Every structure is written in structure tokens, then in C-alpha cells.
């Protein structure tokens, strides 16, 4: 019998710098799964850690020891064994039953199964979990282990706990304690399933699954380990109507059952095919039970299946959903260096990826529904791979199940990030145990495409001054090159493994060598500006990104600064990156002057982030197959913050989200610099060939065609074609007032010959029409002038509103229609006002009639929604400063180093 123990918990501080009002409050109700911060918040004892500068006020929580208590009723049910199963304890914990210590733990990433057969008694029992301060533990451990380099301010590398919980360059320093994942009491008799590992292969259309089953027997000692003893057991597995059964004699604790499915339907990454899944059922029966014993299979975790009391005579059961596909990582050599390409079902998949961080600094709050929302957004942005970054967590089962269902590949880092790690005890055993737990738990998922040893630690050792600081101490190399690959080979033998990201498969090369394997590029953000993406030629861009603020609604809900400015107190707390504001400014200046109002600053930085994302993703895709993937840093945020995310901490889409989605179009046409000229790249990420004529036209900003031509292209399925633009079309007469349009079907690329700030972009003249319909509005905007990157910032008028597209560039006479989902009564005049309906033109200095931006206003809830609105402005076109075209970068210089972290 298995039941959750989530009720009637309390938590109280037992030692530490506790403020008097918390001390006086005594025990408060605790949510399990949960964490101290959210319990204190719910009890009204602390302010919301995500607002203003509250993070600073709450540092004492991580320095305090906390005690959770509840009671557990035990009724006689004929069990031989009773076990407490903690799916996650955060982190340094002592577990007591009736005052007796039954376990001591120090690893947030492990599952603990504690034998309490002797400690529990029939009737009421007390259960207590006391957490010692993780900050103090890590501080002590860092001295005991020997100091090792790390980024940020706490030695997170001395403790097995979510690294970014100690603060990151996008995350708050809110060090948690708590029972952060489910806890259950499992009483059972005779034997139970210990682990199930389905190893899937496909050959000639036939799928096979080797189901590795380990059991624990009640007679085998009370150590909670896989153990022998007791009588014969019968293990059966079933898939697609086929069943196999085997007997497990008393001296055996494990077996492998092989099942085959003919004409198996293949699981594919999204965009490449469907995601058929098959139910796999495993059943454990006593050996003397009749063959038709009632099954007890239930859906559950792989490493630790959730079970119901065995119906009928079955002892235990498990059901998982598996998918059949082949998977490999191509790291073969070629004339350019060493590839890094994901190959699924023998097709090379161009990775349109994003990096994933914990979706909440308090990760227990991320429910299945929230995972589903975020993954829907990822899918909507055209993402086919998420990299679960090594400074976070092994996500909950729900995350991977939702990725399976959507065809989103998962690259899972082991949890080592930007630091050196001790390879001695006590850390070593923790690393091994945690890897075993999580490899076993996650192997069932077809979406899981790669195990990766660490984030940036190979690079750190090579470039960040570690050897001197380590002074001969271990740094984790043995984990990445030996321990972890051996565990993957043992437990999950068909899944690729890489030692790190970035990583060069070529043993003599620098880990971030762009010609060999995966690379991270941070020089572009740190120093060079986003057009410098085009200087790179990575084989696989595993990390690169550009900062922007959260949406206005998210920012204003989090910060009460008056005035709110880029440097007001709350803004500085919610910008964690080293020199973040300076880099934002320096990265803006080649394109726009620095705005003078907060609303313009917010739009300019949001737009600049979107431009950077578009530039990087389109360019890397245009390089395929030389480059086999782009994994943008980063998809999501864990709180409201200025960051590289495209979806902000409240789950709202930033303008960069739309840029990512457009740049991920299955059929992309993009214009790229090519030496002194230009090329058009067609990227066909679809199963059908893309043939036809690309219409090219060089036009004045007023729409006049100055030069035109067509290029016939034939772009086979899943391929990229680059074609040089004829010189007369690729060369502007007046760079400041001309654009190049490349169009094939509905796919269009627009190339501006001048940066906005040096261009003659006029004051925007647009007319808008707003129609109310079920669930929202349709907004049609027609341009009378050229408008660049027209965007409707709907969150500024309704924080719950979502618009379906953004960043459209229109020539005079062209229109765009957007669908806005909103339940609010929106005033069309406000919706079409210049601080809501935005474009790049508004940021170009010297534009006559440039709207004076005020902070976006909330809409008047009384106002009705009329059907149309007047033109936004009627200013004449300006004659702005002329300038040279953007320096079209085609150089090959590569700066693969990253500034050493502090
Ligand atoms: C990447 C990540 C993180 C960091 C990001 C932005 O390398 O691995 O360390 O948040 O850079 O600096």
C-alpha cells in the first residue's frame, strides 16, 4: 500500500538569525511538497521574495535551521516492510520517526527510500525532518573539501543542491529548505519492484524493448537495497498486446525481459513526424500465484514506481509510456573539423533549441499544468530541443512526459555548472547515487536525447584560471570523462553522452573550438554586439543569447520604484548580470541612441533583444549543414528579472519570443551579408522540396522599386540553399533609405542597408482597426509609411492579454492583422496609442512628430470597444542623417574565450 504523506505538516525555525515576529509565530502550516519561503509567505510572515528588494531582507532564511513535523497513522495491513519514500529533500536533512533518527541526507537531487519497518508502530507516529542551513553547510564543506573556483558568491559546488538557488546571473539568492518533492509511505509484503529500465531499439521496422527489472524481497534484510531471499517470483511485461513472463528464483533479484513490436510506429521530434507512444506494463507476482493473477499495474515513476495496493494477488506493478526511435550523436570528422549533429531515425535533425532553467526559484511550484504551458510556448516558438541546464535540477517526470508528447528533444546536463567539484568523499558517493537515481528515472523517455556531463566546466578549466586556483585539487574531470559515461553506459546504453558543453570531440582541441563540437558564445553579448554572430561559424551553437527586460506588466507588478528607471533601486536588484546595464547600453548604441524615457528604454531594449535573437538564429540556420543546431540562451525565467529569456518570469512572451518563432519558421528566407555583397538563404525544415522563384527587389522607403530580379531556387527537403544576390540589387544607392525584400510565397525577408539610428526611417503613419470578437480582438494595422518591427505590446493594457505575432515590417500600403486574446474591455484608442503600438521608427532620433512616450496606461475598464481608430500620427517623412551601411561582417576571426568569471 502506498500513500502520500502531505497532510498536517508544520514548520518552525530551530536555530539561526530569526526575526522576532517569526520566532513569536511558532510552528506555521507547511505545504508539502514545498519550501520554507513559501510557507512563511503563506503565513503572512515575510513579504513576497520576488518583489522589489525583498530578496535582500530574506537572506536569514537560508542561514536558519528548520524543522518540519507531522504525524503518520499506521494501521496493520499485513505488510512485511514499511518504507518512507522521499522523492526530494532540500537538502541537509535529518529524518526522525518517533524521535529516532532514521536517515541523514545531504543531496537535493536524490530519491530516498528509508526502511522504517522497525521505527513505525501501529497507531500514531511522529515524523520530523530537520533541515540544517544549506549556506552554512556549503561554507563548511568548501573548507573541508578544499576551496575550488565557482562563479557567483556562495560555494554551491560544495553541496549537491540546485546551484542557481544560491543566486545566478539571472536568479535570486534565496536559499531554500524543505520537502520539495512528494513523500509517501510504502508498506508491502514479500517483494516489490525496485527499478524498471526499458532500453529501446529499432531495427528494420521492428522495435524491441529490453525491460530491465530489479526487485527487492522482504526477506533480504532491512537495508533497503536490492536483496535476495523469499520464494520464486514471477515477472511479466506487456506491450501492444504481447506479453512475456519469466520466473525469478529465490536467489535472484533482477531480470531482463525482451519484447518486440513489428511494424513499429516511430517517435519523431516535432516537425519531423508524430509522437506515437506505447504503454509498457510490468507486473510482479508471487511465483505460486496462478498465471492469470489480477494485475496491479499503475502509472508511476520509473526509478520508484507509484503503486496501488495490489489488486487481487499481484505484488506490484508499473506502467510507463515508451517511444521507439533510434538516436545518435554524429561527432564524425569532416573537412571543416568535427560535427555535432543529432540523428534521429537516421535523419539529421537541425536543432532549433533553447536552454531551459528551473521555471521558478521555488521549483516545487512548477505544476504539470505550468510545465505544459511553458512547453506549449516552446513548441509555439518552433523549439524542437530543450537543454536542461546543469545549474538547475533534474526536472520532475511531468516535464519529460510533456516533452515526449510534444516531440521536444531533451538534452539533460548532469548538475555541474561553472565550477570545479571535489571528486573525493563525501561528494563522490552523492554524485554517483544521484546519477544512478536520475538516469534510471529518465531512461524511459523517448524525448531524452543526450546526457551531458557539465556546463562550461571543461571550458572553465581551460580558460578561467582554475589550474592555479586548484593547486592540484580535483575539479570534476573524472566525473565527466569516466564516472558519468560509465553509469550511462551501464544504465542507459543506447543514449549518447558528452562530457561537457561546450565540448570538442577532438581530444587535442580547446573545448570551445568552433570547428569541433558544441560551442558557447558569450563574447557577442559581452563585448562585440549582435551583428558579430555573423563572424562565427559554429558546428553547433549550444549557448548564446542577448538580454532584454521582462514585459512591462511583469516589471510593473514586481517593482514599485517611483520613478522606475533603468537604474532605480528595484531595477538594479532585478538585473543580476555582471555589468548588465552597461552591456545593454553598449549593445544598443550601434543601432539606436539611448532613449530618455523609461517606456522608450523598455521598448528599445526589448526590440534590441529581439533583433539579436533574430540575427543569431537566422544566421546559424543559414549555415546548416555546417552548423547543425542553435540552442538559444534561454527560454524561460525563474522570477521577474532582466535576462536573456524570451518568456519572462511571469510566463509572458517578450518581443524576442516572436523573433525566435519567426526565425524558427519551417521555411525560412533570410538575407545575410556575403563578403561585400549579400546572399539569400532558404532554409527548408520540412519534408517537401521548396522550389520556385525568389522575388528580389531593392526599394526606397516609400516603396518605389529601384532594382528587381528573381532567383530560381530548388531547396530539397531538410536542406538549406544559399544564393548570391546580384550586385545591382544588393548595392544601395542611398543606404539610409533603401531596403531589400526577398520573397517566395508568403515567406519574406527584409534587409535594411542602414542601422536604424543612421537611417531615414520616418515618423510612422499607420491606421488601425480593432474588432471585438469571441475571446478577444482582431487588430488590423495598415501602414502609410514604412514601419519597422511593428509590435503590439498588449500586456501594457491588459496583463493577461496575448497577441499572436509581432515585429512586422510593413511597406507603405501594407497591412498586418493580429489576433489578441483578452477578456478585458480594451479601448481601441489606447490599444493603438504610440506606447502600445510600437515600432522601431519611434526610436529614431530626429523623427519629426516622434511620439513623446509616457508610461503605458492601464485601460479604463468603463470604455467600450469601438470598431476602428484614426491614424496614429500624420507627420511628414523626415530626412534623417545619412550613413554608411552596416559594416557587413564576413571575417573569420573567432574569439572562443570567455571572460574569466569572477
Ligand atoms: C551561460 C549559462 C549560465 C549563465 C549564462 C548567462 O553560460 O551557462 O552560466 O546564466 O551563461 O551568462
- CA distance linking residue 601 with residue 567, whole number of Å: 11
Mean pLDDT over all residues of the chain? 91
Atom 12 (ligand 1): residue with closest C-alpha?
169
Asked whether the beta carbons of 402 and 444 are under 8 A apart, the reply is: no
pLDDT band at 229 (very low <50, low <70, confident <90, very high): low
Q: Do 511 and 458 contact (CB within 8 A), yes or no?
A: yes
Torsion angle, alpha carbons of 39, 40, 43, 47, to 10: -130
Q: Which of helix, strand or coil describes residue 208?
A: strand
What is the DSSP pairing of strand 497-498 with strand 518-520?
unpaired
**Ligand 1 center to 861 CA (angstroms):** 42
Atom nearest to 169 CA in ligand 1: 10
Query: Distance between CA atoms of 370 and 651, rounded to whole angstroms?
Result: 9
DSSP type of residue 575:
B
Partnered with residue 693 across adjacent β-strands are 712
The Cα 616–Cα 813 span in angstroms is 30
Give the C-alpha separation, 105 to 91, whole Å: 7
DSSP-assigned letter for residue 482? I
**In this predicted structure, what is the pLDDT of residue 715?**
97
CA 483 to chain centre: 26
Angle at the Cα of 394 (from 628 to 163), degrees rounded to 5? 95
Separation CA 583–CA 577 (nearest Å): 9
Cα(341)–Cα(335) distance, rounded to whole angstroms? 15
**Bond preceding residue 813 cis, omega within 30 of 0:** no
| pLDDT at position 856 over 50 | no
pLDDT tens per residue, range 534-579: 999 999 999 999 999 999 999 999 999 999 999 999 999 999 999 9
Report the atom number in ligand 1 closest to the C-alpha of 644: 6
Give CA–CA dist 775/462, Å, rounded: 55
Q: How far is CA 142 from CA 109, 422, 581, in A?
A: 19, 9, 32
Q: Which of 169, 522, 584 to mutate to test the pocket of ligand 1 (most atoms within 8 A of CB)?
A: 169
CA distance 872 to 849: 11
User: Atom 9 (ligand 1): residue with closest C-alpha?
Assistant: 418
For residue 729, report the distance from its CA to the centre of ligand 1, in Å.
Answer: 40
CB 815 within 8 A of CB 783: yes
Is the backbone peptide bond immediately before 634 cis, with ω within 30 degrees of 0? yes
CA distance 407 to 275: 6
457-509 confidence digits (pLDDT tens): 999 999 999 999 999 999 999 999 999 999 999 999 999 999 999 999 998 99
Residue 864 has pLDDT above 70, yes or no: no
Kind and range of the H or E run holding 569: helix 569-573
Question: From ligand 1's centre to the CA of 621, what distance in Å?
Answer: 22
On the question of pLDDT at 587 being above 50, the answer is yes
Select from 345, 79, 318 the least CA-distant residue to 205.
345
What confidence score (pLDDT) does residue 288 get?
A: 77
Kindly tell me if the per-residue pLDDT of 162 is higher than 90: yes
Question: Rounded distance, CA 275 to CA 321, Å?
Answer: 11
**What's the pLDDT at 228?**
53
Which residue has the least CA distance to atom 1 on ligand 1? Answer: 543
Ligand 1 pocket mutation pick from 163, 357, 415, 456 by most atoms within 8 angstroms of CB: 456
Per residue in 393-450, pLDDT (tens digit) is 999 999 999 999 999 999 999 999 999 999 999 999 999 999 999 999 999 999 999 9
- Which residue owns the Cα nearest ligand 1 atom 4? 169
Sheet of 705-715: strands edge to edge? 705-715, 690-700, 738-744, 747-752
Cell of 155: 560555494
Q: What region does 794 belong to: left with phi over 0, alpha with psi -120 to 50, or beta?
A: alpha
Confidence bin at 776 (pLDDT 50/70/90):
very high
Q: Answer yes or no: are the C-beta atoms of 463 and 422 closer than 8 Å.
A: no
Q: How far apart, in whole angstroms, are the C-alpha atoms of residue 284 and residue 289? A: 10
Whole-angstrom Cα distance, residue 583 to residue 524?
Answer: 10
- Residue 852, judged by CB atoms within 10 A of its CB (0-12, 13-18, 19+), counts as exposed
What is the separation of C-alpha 789 from the centre of its chain, rounded to a whole number of angstroms? 26
**Residue 876 clears pLDDT 80, i.e. is over it:** no
- Please report the pLDDT score of residue 220 as a whole number: 62
pLDDT higher than threshold 60 for residue 890: no
Distance from Cα 650 to the centre of ligand 1, integer Å = 20
Q: Which residues line ligand 1 (CB under 6 A)?
A: 168-170, 389, 418, 455-456, 520, 543, 633
d(CA 204, CA 208): 11
Query: Rounded to the nearest whole angstrom, what is the distance from the C-alpha of residue 152 to the centroid of ligand 1?
Result: 11
Rounded to whole angstroms, how far apart are CA atoms 668 and 666?
A: 6
Please state, in angstroms and as integers, the Cα–Cα distance from residue 349 to each residue in 192, 345, 490, 664, 747, following that order: 40, 10, 27, 13, 22
The confidence band for 231, taking pLDDT boundaries of 50, 70 and 90, is confident
Distance of CA 110 to the CA centre of its chain: 21
Return the closest-CA partner of residue 55 out of 580, 392, 559, 391: 559
Asked if 498 and 339 count as a contact pair (C-beta separation under 8 A), the reply is no
Q: Ligand 1 pocket check: which of 156, 361, 389 to mutate, most ligand atoms within 8 Å of Cβ?
A: 389
How much distance in Å is there from the Cα of 483 to the middle of ligand 1? 25
* 8 A C-beta contact, residue 422 and residue 149: no
Q: At residue 636, does pLDDT exceed 90? A: yes
Percent of the chain with pLDDT over 70: 90
**The pLDDT of residue 287:** 85
DSSP states of 248-309: E-TT--EEEEEEEETTPPBP--TTTS----EEEEEEEEETTS-TTPPP---B--SSS---PP
SS3 content of the chain, % helix, strand, coil (to 5): 20, 30, 45
- Asked whether residue 225 carries a pLDDT value surpassing 90, the answer given is no
Say yes or no to pLDDT of 863 above 60.
no
**What local confidence, expressed as pLDDT, does residue 312 receive?**
45
Q: 589-610, pLDDT tens digit by residue?
A: 999 999 999 999 999 999 999 9
For 143-161, what is each residue's pLDDT tens digit?
A: 999 999 999 999 999 999 9
Burial 806-843 (b: 16+ CB within 10 A, else e): bbbbbbbeeebebebebebebbbbbbbbbbbbbbbbbb
| Phi-psi domain of 174 (left: phi exceeds 0; alpha: psi -120 through 50; beta: other) | beta
Task: Kindly give the distance from the C-alpha atom of residue 539 to the centroid of ligand 1, in angstroms, as a whole number.
Answer: 19
Query: How far, in Å, CA of 65 to CA of 596, rounded?
Result: 47
pLDDT reading at 299 higher than 90 = no
- The number of the ligand 1 atom at minimal distance from the alpha carbon of 164 is 10
CA end-to-end span of the chain, whole Å? 52
What's the whole-number mean pLDDT along residues 77-83? 94
Three-class SS of residue 573?
helix
Counting residues of the chain whose pLDDT is more than 90, the rounded percentage is 88
Cα–Cα distance for residue pair 784/811, rounded to 1 Å = 8
- Atom 6 in ligand 1: which residue has the minimum CA distance? 169
| Ligand 1: residue whose CA is nearest its atom 3 | 169
What are the φ and ψ backbone dihedral angles of 327, each rounded to 5 degrees?
A: -150, 130
Q: Tell me the per-residue pLDDT of 93-127, one tens digit each, with 9 for 90 and over.
A: 999 999 999 999 999 999 999 999 999 999 999 99
pLDDT digit string (tens) for 238-276?
999 999 999 999 999 999 999 999 999 999 999 999 999
Measure 418 CA to ligand 1 centroid, in angstroms.
Answer: 8
CA distances from 281 to 129, 196, 255, 278 (A): 35, 10, 15, 10
In this prediction, residue 219 carries a pLDDT of 79
Pocket probe for ligand 1: among 152, 511, 633, 643, the residue whose CB has the most ligand atoms within 8 Å is 633
Distance CA 677, CA 111 (A): 58
Amino acid at each position: 500500500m502506498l500513500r502520500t504523506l502531505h497532510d498536517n505538516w508544520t514548520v518552525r525555525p530551530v536555530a539561526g538569525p530569526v526575526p522576532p515576529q517569526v520566532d513569536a509565530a511558532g510552528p506555521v502550516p507547511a505545504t508539502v511538497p514545498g519550501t520554507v519561503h513559501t510557507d512563511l509567505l503563506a503565513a503572512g510572515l515575510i513579504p513576497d521574495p520576488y518583489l522589489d528588494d525583498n530578496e535582500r531582507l530574506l537572506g536569514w532564511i537560508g542561514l536558519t535551521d528548520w524543522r518540519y513535523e507531522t504525524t503518520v497513522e499506521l494501521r496493520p495491513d499485513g505488510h512485511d516492510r514499511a518504507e518512507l519514500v522521499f522523492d526530494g529533500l532540500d537538502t541537509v536533512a535529518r529524518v526522525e520517526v518517533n524521535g529516532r533518527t532514521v536517515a541523514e541526507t545531504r543531496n537535493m537531487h536524490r530519491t530516498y527510500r528509508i526502511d522504517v519497518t522497525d521505527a513505525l508502530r501501529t497507531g500514531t507516529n511522529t515524523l520530523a525532518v530537520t533541515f540544517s542551513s544549506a549556506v552554512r553547510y556549503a561554507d563548511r564543506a568548501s573548507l573541508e573539501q578544499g576551496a575550488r573556483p565557482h562563479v557567483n558568491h556562495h560555494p554551491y559546488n560544495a553541496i549537491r543542491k540546485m546551484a542557481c538557488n544560491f543566486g545566478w546571473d539571472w536568479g535570486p539568492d534565496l536559499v531554500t529548505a524543505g520537502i520539495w518533492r512528494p513523500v509517501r509511505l510504502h508498506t508491502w509484503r514479500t517483494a516489490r519492484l525496485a527499478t524498471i529500465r526499458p532500453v529501446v531499439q529499432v531495427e528494420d521496422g521492428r522495435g524491441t524493448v529490453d525491460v530491465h527489472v530489479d526487485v527487492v524481497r522482504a526477506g533480504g534484510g532491512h537495508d533497503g537495497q536490492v536483496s535476495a531471499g523469499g520464494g520464486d517470483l514471477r515477472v511479466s511485461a506487456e506491450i501492444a498486446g504481447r506479453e512475456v513472463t519469466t520466473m525469478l528464483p529465490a536467489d535472484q533479484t533482477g531480470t531482463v525481459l525482451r519484447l518486440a513490436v513489428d511494424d513499429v510506429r516511430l517517435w519523431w521530434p516535432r516537425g519531423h513526424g508524430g509522437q506515437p507512444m506505447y504503454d509498457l506494463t510490468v507486473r510482479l507476482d508471487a511465483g505460486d500465484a496462478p498465471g492469470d493473477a489480477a494485475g496491479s499495474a499503475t502509472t508511476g515513476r520509473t526509478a520508484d514506481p507509484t503503486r496501488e495496493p495490489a489488486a487481487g494477488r499481484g505484488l506490484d506493478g508499473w506502467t510507463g509510456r515508451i517511444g521507439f526511435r533510434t538516436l545518435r550523436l554524429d561527432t564524425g570528422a569532416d573537412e571543416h573539423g568535427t560535427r555535432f549533429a543529432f540523428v534521429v531515425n537516421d535523419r539529421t535533425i537541425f536543432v532549433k533549441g533553447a536552454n531551459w532553467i528551473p521555471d521558478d526559484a521555488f521549483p516545487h511550484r512548477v505544476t504539470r499544468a505550468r510545465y505544459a504551458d511553458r512547453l506549449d510556448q516552446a513548441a509555439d516558438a518552433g523549439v524542437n530541443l530543450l537543454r536542461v541546464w546543469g545549474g538547475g535540477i533534474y526536472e520532475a517526470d511531468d516535464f519529460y512526459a510533456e516533452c515526449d508528447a510534444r516531440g521536444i528533444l531533451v538534452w539533460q546536463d548532469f548538475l555541474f555548472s561553472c565550477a570545479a567539484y571535489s571528486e573525493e568523499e563525501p561528494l563522490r558517493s552523492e554524485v554517483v547515487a544521484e546519477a544512478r537515481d536520475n538516469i534510471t528515472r529518465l531512461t524511459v523517455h523517448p524525448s531524452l536525447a543526450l546526457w551531458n556531463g557539465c556546463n562550461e566546466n571543461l571550458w572553465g578549466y581551460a580558460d578561467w584560471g582554475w589550474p592555479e586556483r586548484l593547486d592540484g585539487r580535483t575539479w570534476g574531470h573524472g566525473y565527466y570523462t569516466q564516472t558519468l559515461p560509465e553509469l550511462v553506459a551501464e544504465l542507459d546504453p543506447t543514449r549518447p553522452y558528452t562530457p561537457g558543453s561546450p565540448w570538442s570531440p577532438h581530444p587535442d582541441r580547446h573545448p570551445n573550438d568552433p570547428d569541433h563540437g558544441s560551442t558557447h558564445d558569450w563574447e557577442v553579448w559581452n563585448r562585440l554586439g549582435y551583428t558579430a554572430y555573423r563572424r562565427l561559424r559554429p558546428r553547433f551553437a549550444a549557448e548564446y543569447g542577448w538580454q532584454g527586460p521582462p514585459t512591462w506588466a511583469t516589471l510593473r507588478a514586481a517593482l514599485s520604484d517611483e520613478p522606475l528607471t533603468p537604474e532605480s533601486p528595484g531595477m538594479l536588484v532585478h538585473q543580476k548580470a555582471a555589468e548588465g546595464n552597461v552591456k545593454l547600453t553598449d549593445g544598443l548604441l550601434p543601432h539606436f541612441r539611448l532613449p530618455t524615457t523609461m517606456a522608450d528604454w523598455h521598448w528599445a531594449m526589448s526590440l534590441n533583444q529581439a533583433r539579436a535573437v533574430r540575427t543569431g538564429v537566422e544566421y546559424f540556420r543559414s549555415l546548416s549543414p555546417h552548423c547543425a543546431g542553435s540552442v538559444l540562451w534561454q527560454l524561460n525565467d525563474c522570477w521577474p528579472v532582466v535576462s536573456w529569456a524570451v518568456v519572462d518570469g511571469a510566463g509572458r512572451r517578450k518581443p524576442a519570443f516572436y523573433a525566435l518563432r519567426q526565425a524558427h519558421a519551417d521555411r525560412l528566407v533570410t538575407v545575410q551579408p556575403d563578403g561585400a555583397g549579400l546572399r539569400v538563404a532558404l532554409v527548408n525544415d520540412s519534408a517537401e522540396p521548396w522550389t520556385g522563384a525568389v522575388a528580389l527587389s531593392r526599394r526606397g522607403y516609400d516603396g518605389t522599386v529601384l532594382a528587381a530580379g528573381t532567383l530560381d531556387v530548388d531547396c530539397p527537403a531538410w536542406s538549406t540553399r544559399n544564393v548570391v544576390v546580384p550586385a545591382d540589387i544588393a548595392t544601395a544607392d542611398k543606404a539610409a533609405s533603401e531596403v531589400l525584400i526577398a520573397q517566395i510565397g508568403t515567406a519574406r525577408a527584409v534587409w535594411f542597408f542602414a542601422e536604424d539610428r543612421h537611417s531615414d526611417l520616418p515618423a510612422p503613419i499607420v491606421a488601425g482597426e480593432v474588432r471585438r470578437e469571441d475571446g478577444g480582438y482582431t487588430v488590423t494595422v495598415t501602414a502609410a509609411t514604412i514601419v519597422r518591427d511593428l509590435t503590439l505590446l498588449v500586456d501594457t493594457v491588459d496583463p493577461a492579454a496575448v497577441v499572436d505575432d509581432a515585429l512586422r515590417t510593413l511597406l507603405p500600403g501594407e497591412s498586418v492583422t493580429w489576433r489578441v486574446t483578452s477578456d478585458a474591455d480594451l479601448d481601441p484608442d489606447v490599444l493603438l496609442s504610440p506606447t502600445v503600438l510600437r515600432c522601431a521608427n519611434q526610436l529614431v532620433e530626429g523623427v519629426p512628430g516622434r511620439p513623446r512616450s509616457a508610461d503605458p496606461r492601464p485601460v479604463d475598464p468603463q470604455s467600450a470597444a469601438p470598431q476602428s481608430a484614426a491614424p496614429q500620427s500624420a507627420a511628414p517623412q523626415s530626412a534623417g542623417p545619412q550613413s554608411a551601411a552596416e559594416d557587413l561582417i564576413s571575417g573569420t576571426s573567432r574569439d572562443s574565450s570567455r571572460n574569466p568569471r569572477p
